[in-house]
Amino acid sequence: MSRKYRQRGYQESPERERKPKPPPRSKGAAARIETKFHLITRCNNCAAEIQVTDQIQVTDTCKNCGTDLHTCRNCLNFDPSARNECIKPIEVRVTNKSNNNLCPFFEAKVMVEKQGSGAAPPKPENSHRQAFLDLFKR
C-alpha cells in the first residue's frame, strides 16, 4: 500500500507510541475525601459570614463592619447589567445600592461553600506581611 504523502516523518512507524494509561484509582472509603457543603450568606462589604436563620430584616447590620445587610448588593436579584440593576420588574430605581431599602423583591444571596477536611488551617492575621518581610531578611 502506498502512502498518500511522501514527506519524511509521516507515519514512519506503523504503530503510534501511546502513553500508558494511569493506574485506576483505588475504590473504597480510604480513597474518598470527606467534603461537606454548607449554605452561607456573606456581607457585601467585608465578606464576613452571616448566619441567616429566617430572613434578613431591614434593621440588620453586619457584626464585623457595621454596614446594612438589607441592601441591593446583598440581594439575589441584583444584576448590574439588568434594567434598574435588578432582575425583577421594579418600578423605581434605587440609586444607592449600599443603603437599606424596603424593596419587596429582596432575597438574601445565599451561596453554597465547600468545607472539606483538606482545608488549610487558619493563618495568623499578619502571615502575608510576615512572608513578605522574610524575603528580605539578611
What is the residue-level pLDDT of the chain in tens, covering all 138 positions?
Answer: 565 666 666 556 555 566 778 877 766 655 566 667 778 888 888 888 887 666 788 888 888 888 888 888 888 888 889 888 889 988 888 888 888 888 888 888 888 888 754 445 555 667 788 888 888 876
Place of cell 504503530: 15
Q: Per the domain annotation, does 1 fall within a domain?
A: no
Q: Per the domain annotation, does 62 fall within a domain?
A: yes
Q: Per the domain annotation, does 132 fall within a domain?
A: no
Q: Per the domain annotation, does 44 fall within a domain?
A: yes
What distance, in Å, lies between the first and last C-alpha atoms of the chain? 71
User: Residue 138 has what pLDDT?
Assistant: 65
CA angle in degrees (0–180, nearest 5) for 128-132-138: 145
User: Residue 118 has what pLDDT?
Assistant: 44
Q: What is the DSSP string of 67-116?
A: -BSSSGGGBTTB-TTSGGGBSS--SS--S-TTS----TT--B--EEEEEE
User: Residue 17 has what pLDDT?
Assistant: 61
The model's pTM is 0.54
Q: Per the domain annotation, does 103 fall within a domain?
A: yes
What is the tally of structural domains in the chain? 1
Q: Per the domain annotation, does 122 fall within a domain?
A: no
User: Residue 2 has what pLDDT?
Assistant: 63
User: Residue 43 has what pLDDT?
Assistant: 86
Q: Which domain holds residue 88?
A: 36-115
Q: Per the domain annotation, does 83 fall within a domain?
A: yes
Q: Per the domain annotation, does 88 fall within a domain?
A: yes
